[in-house]
Structure 1
Amino acid sequence: MQWFVHVFQQYPELAIFLTLALGFAIGPLKIGKFSLGTVTAVLLVGVLIGQMKIDISPNVKSVFFLMFLFAVGYSVGPQFFRGLKKDGVPQMIFAAVVCVLCLVFPWLCGKVMGYNAGQTAGLLAGAQTISAVIGVASDTINQLGISQEEKTSMINAIPVCYAVTYLFGTAGSAWFLASVGPRLLGGLPAVRQKSKELEASMGSGDESGDPGMMPANPVISYRAFQIDNDWFSNGRTVQEVEKYLMDNNRRLFVERVRVGKQVTEVQPGTVVKKGDELVLSGRREAFAGESHLLGPEVVDDDLLHFPAEVLPVLVSRKGVGGMSVKQLRQQDYMHGIFIRSIKRADIPVPVLPDTQIDRGDVLELVGTKKAVDKAAIHIGYPDRPTNKTDMMFVGLGIVVGGLIGVLTIHIGGVPLSLSTSGGALIAGLFFGWLRSRHPTFGRIPEPALWVMNNVGLNMFIAVVGITTGPSFVDGFKQVGISLFLVGAISTLGPLLVGVLLGRYVFKFHPALTLGCTAGARTTTAALGAIQDALDSKTPALGYTVTYAVGNTLLIIWGVVIVLLMK
């Protein structure tokens, strides 16, 4: 054991990676429906390993924390600025109000309980499940005009209070919004029914699919038929065939035709006769009972052998942003194209006819390669899979943000600055928005963004846990078990007021009220619980704008809470 302690003290990088490995292994484990979550697991493992008294340079956590904050801003930037538009303003104001409540409740609790700035910052971070506050608050405490001993004591208290309050902050939020929230809005059956009515009012036809999964019954199908309907006796053009199918409530497109032994690509004027074979593309339900309109289905490998593509397209064309899915489908360039999914700030949005498309959204298009390529040009930028990250863009963004963050102004003798962490977040917001407007540069592939978000944050948390490990137990004894109850109050207070504001003041649809409240608190786990409870994806429509605002303001509160407590 002494040998292990000596090795980890001499090579602290090994201790960091051991913390990550164990934290990522323990975090997802569930007891019933409860799990620690990766961040909390990494912190607690770090505290345990930190009992070996391992010294790690604070620069290590700073590097990964800046990377994490830039990635957060980059992800939500398009939606943050989109919220400034007229239709997004109510949700943006709602999110700002909820975020202020998320600051006020921990601040009042901290004052009543006599907590110092570090303890209150940890309460804010855990109760509102915003791990980044740990780093931002620590940077702010380091700028205070107090002794180094006081700074160290406050900074070491942050992860202690975070760990105590985070568990209920996550599980309690999901429980409240999925179980209590609907009761405050008229009862679960009524809210579920209203969610279904909202879906019906927006149309039907969710074409979304889970990334990385191949459904056993594909959403989009390509099938071949031999024509034997007398309607085709005198020959019909492809354009007439598609109208004929549309008039029979089937949105199907003719992709290829076999005349005799010759397989040809089709044009609108291509003539199809009785006895010919053709390939149709469309959603699987559109094929139900179509044989009486055309003829029997056939298996023709040669006819069905042609390239089809699933292509993510970043919406950047001004005319497309603001369209509904239905309006986009009606464009000439969408002929033969289907929208499989929509992602907004990495959050799946239901694909319904009246779903509004925003600039910065990623649409997953399905169709023949030629048709998809044509549609992509009119919609925005084809975001084809790549493993290359524009590191010049990332590096420059963090540097520019950091330089802005270190600028200090003095108000009443108190130095105020965003710090490098706050500057990196703001830069990420701007650079993410810039990428949505000019998508030819600044690409960060989804796997790389995952690494920056998850590895960046957890590397920071691992170092925090290891370095504060020796003082963690003493800190826990100091705050006591009462902190758990204080954390529950700080978690539930903003959620309760937020749901009531959504219903009585902002008068949102019940499903959107729950989605907006979850988004303002940036609790994705709660969004999933809400959608499961309502059996509907519509709450996601209220999640994205409020999530962007919440992810920004709640992190900045790490600066504000320290100054308020000072």
Structure 2
Amino acid sequence: MIKHLFTTSPLVALFITIALGYLVGKIKIGKFVLGGVAGTLLVGVLIGQFGIRLDDGIKAIFFALFIYAVGFQGGPQFFHALNRRSLNQLASAFIMCVTGLLCVLAAAWLFDLDRGMAAGLAAGGLTQSAIIGTAGDAIAKLGLSPELVKTMQTNVAVGYAVCYIFGSLGPIILVTWFFPAVMRWDIRQEAINLAKTLSGGRAELDPGQFDAVRSIVTRFYLAAPQGAAVGQTALQVNTTLSDAAVEAVVRSGKTLELTDATPLLAGDIVAVSGKVAVMAQALALFGQEAQAPDGYSIVEEERDIILTSRALSGREVGNIHDHTRIETRHGVFLTQVKRMGHALPLLDKLPLKSGDELRFIGRPQDLDRVEPKIGYRINAAAVTDFIFFGIGMAVGILIGLIQFKLWGVPISIGSGGGCLLSGLMFGWLRSVHPRFAALPLGASNFLRDFGLAVFVGIVGITAGPQALVAIQKYGLTLLFLGFGVTLIPQIVTFYFSYYVLRIRNPIEALACVAGGRSANPAFAALLAKAGNATPVVSFTVTYAVANVFLTLWGPIIVGLVTRNAAP
């Protein structure tokens, strides 16, 4: 009955595969989680034993959507990372990617792996799921028989499935245990030290603690006749307080229309918003704290703004604060910085980059004053620009049709690689021209996650019975080759980065290893060990570079490994 249902309604089988795959992916073994992608692939192989057939066109379009979203999200950081300041980190990521490619090629040539198995070894050993698609595209364009193409595409999935688990676990072991033990580093202490450096000496707090100085509060004060604030304008008070601002003035029971030139008189009730540490200074300035009038409210807003200003990009948070006129910044408080979806440590020496998401708190009129000088509001572009989305997808597919030769070997990056490059270009376009190519984060996350889930589910179902045969034939060999492909690039890159590129800060060195491998589980483990967000900056730079190159390795491997699977 189940076989009849699945064969007559293959889409039912596909969505059950996704559901069960992500359920299996949530199972924890110690701290290790298999993940939804690997879980979906394994469940797909099992359900594929029923002999289900799915249209290859579905697989192609969902992979194209997935890879375009990946490129779109990483585009701003990828191009903005290409500068001298982060050159050593870029070099570290490139060395990691190239070393991984060389390890895969060496394994393929020494152990006579076919093109599909070699690409699968790369996808699993380097934990880059996108290689499954880009390599599969390249195999389909070799002009081979349909049976041989299907066999090698199945081998890609097999190689990925066999090598993926240690491919995910290996970076965690190296980044959080092996390298720190060899180098005698205390990750938590090194993260605290780096945070102190970035913050200009402020202490890093332990888990469970919070920095009250960073909290923004509103308090009311009664302007006493002897208070220093009496006779001053609102702007003069703001200048004195610096990190707090007058938000409202109540005089004789009525709220005044507040401007910078509004004078403060004795008996006024003044609302001041700002950092907690400044409130003691405000109390001294006014002379007496007061209760808010009954039923009184002040409307403030939490607004996310994408940084596009060239004048601010590359400058440190503290530098911007200190050199921005009080007339511009008063009443506006930066509370969070995100880069590629990761929250960065909000420290004085944190350099901002175009494409960063900045969260501010303040009155709407104050936020309206600074927004044009920073970039554009995220929720102002919460609708997908389908004109540019359609153009971007079309351009990516067209790029995928281009063929070129590498050392005499004809290579095509396929629609997957083409959509990756197109997504990078359109994501960058969006960051510098925010009126065009809108693809909200929620929408791009859905395209990325759902596109990959559908693609991997179809790969697993299609592989079906052939997968079990291939695992029996190559399983143990692939497992050990996966160990080498996982470990060797990280060890080589770590020591090359430390001694040659001189990335000596422990947190930055470890984050570069995780990012250069696009190893999200290792990064999550490093964050947990660090106890703060200091690894994020180095990870995002190397991760953006690694995502591009590792994805492009799929067709490169298919082109350079000349052995086909046995018919």
Corresponding letter in the other structure for 1:427: S
Is the aligned partner of 1:327 residue 2:319?
Answer: yes
Q: Distance in 2 between matches of 1:337 and 1:369?
A: 10
Say if 2:262 is the partner of 1:270. yes
Query: 1:543 Cα shift?
Result: 1.4
* Superimposed CA distance per residue, residues 134-172 of structure 1 (whole angstroms, 9 cap, x where no aligned partner): 111111112225444332221111111111111111122
2:205 corresponds in structure 1 to none
Q: Distance in 2 between matches of 1:13 and 1:205?
A: 58
SS in 1 for 2:255: strand
TM-score where L is the length of structure 1: 0.91
**Residue 197 in structure 1 maps to residue 206 in structure 2:** no
Equivalent position of 2:95 in the other structure: 97
Deviations 1:490-533 (A, max 9, x none): 11111112221221111122211111221111122222211221
Note if contact 1:205-1:353 (Cα within 8 Å) is conserved in structure 2.
Answer: no
Could you say which residue in structure 2 is the equivalent of 1:123?
121
Report the CA distance shift for 1:53/1:459 in structure 2 as closer, same or farther (over 3 A).
same
Counterpart in the other structure of 2:29? 31
Match for residue 469 of structure 1? 464
Q: Report the more deviating stretch, 320-329 or 129-138.
A: 320-329
Quick one: distance in 2 between partners of 1:413 and 1:535? Answer: 50
Query: How far does residue 385 in structure 1 lie from its aligned partner after superposition?
Result: 6.0
- Label 1:205 to 1:262 Cα distance change in 2 as closer, same or farther (>3 A): farther
Identify the range of structure 1 (474-483 vs 402-411) with the bigger mean alpha-carbon deviation. 402-411
**Structure 2 length-normalised TM:** 0.91
Aligned equivalents of 1:17, 1:75: Cα separation in 2: 26
The sequence identity of aligned pairs, in percent, is 34
Number of aligned residue pairs: 550
Alpha carbons of structure 1 residues 36 and 385: separation in structure 2 relative to 1, 3 Å: farther
Q: Contact (CA 8 Å) 2:212, 2:276: kept in 1 or not?
A: no
Structure 1 residues 296, 41: closer, same or farther in 2, change over 3 A?
Answer: farther
- 5+ residue gaps, structure 2: 203-210, 563-567
Counterparts of residues 150-549 of structure 1 (less than 5 Å): 150-184=148-182, 186-189=183-186, 191-203=187-199, 219-228=215-224, 230-232=226-228, 234-246=230-242, 251-287=243-279, 291=283, 294-295=286-287, 297-300=289-292, 305-329=297-321, 330-332=323-325, 333-384=328-379, 387-410=382-405, 414-508=409-503, 509-549=505-545
The answer to whether the 8 A contact 2:318-2:349 is kept is: yes
Q: Which amino acid aligns with 2:93?
A: A
Alpha carbons of structure 1 residues 295 and 472: separation in structure 2 relative to 1, 3 Å: farther
CA, structure 1 residues 323+410, in 2 after alignment: closer, same or farther (shift >3 Å)? Answer: closer
Give 3-state SS (helix, strand or coil) of 1:506's partner: coil
Q: Quickly say closer, same or farther: Cα 1:148–1:306, change in 2 above 3 A.
A: same
Alignment-mate amino acid for residue 38 of structure 1: G
Cα distance in structure 2, aligned partners of 1:229 and 1:454: 62
Aligned-partner SS, 2:313:
coil
Q: 1:550 and 1:256 mapped to 2: Cα distance?
A: 50
* Structure 2 CA distance for aligned equivalents of residues 297 and 94 of structure 1: 55
The alpha-carbon deviation at position 555 of structure 1 amounts to: 0.2
1:30 CA displacement? 1.9
Q: Which residue of 2 aligns with 1:212?
A: none
Query: Residue 326 and residue 157 in structure 1: after superposition, are their counterparts in 2 closer, same or farther (change >3 A)?
Result: same
The alpha carbon displacement at 1:124 in A equals 0.6
- CA RMSD after TM alignment: 2.5
Q: Secondary structure at 1:164's aligned position in 2?
A: helix
Task: Look up the equivalent residue of 2:324 and give its one-letter code.
Answer: Q
Is the Cα–Cα contact under 8 Å of residues 75 and 345 in structure 1 kept in the other structure? yes
CA distance in 2, matches of 1:426, 1:358: 21
Distance 1:295 1:242 in 2: 16
- Aligned AA for 2:17? T
Work out whether residues 527 and 535 of structure 2, in 8 Å CA contact, stay in contact via their aligned partners in 1.
Answer: yes
Gapped regions of structure 1 (runs ≥ 5):
207-214
CA shift for structure 1 position 178? 1.6
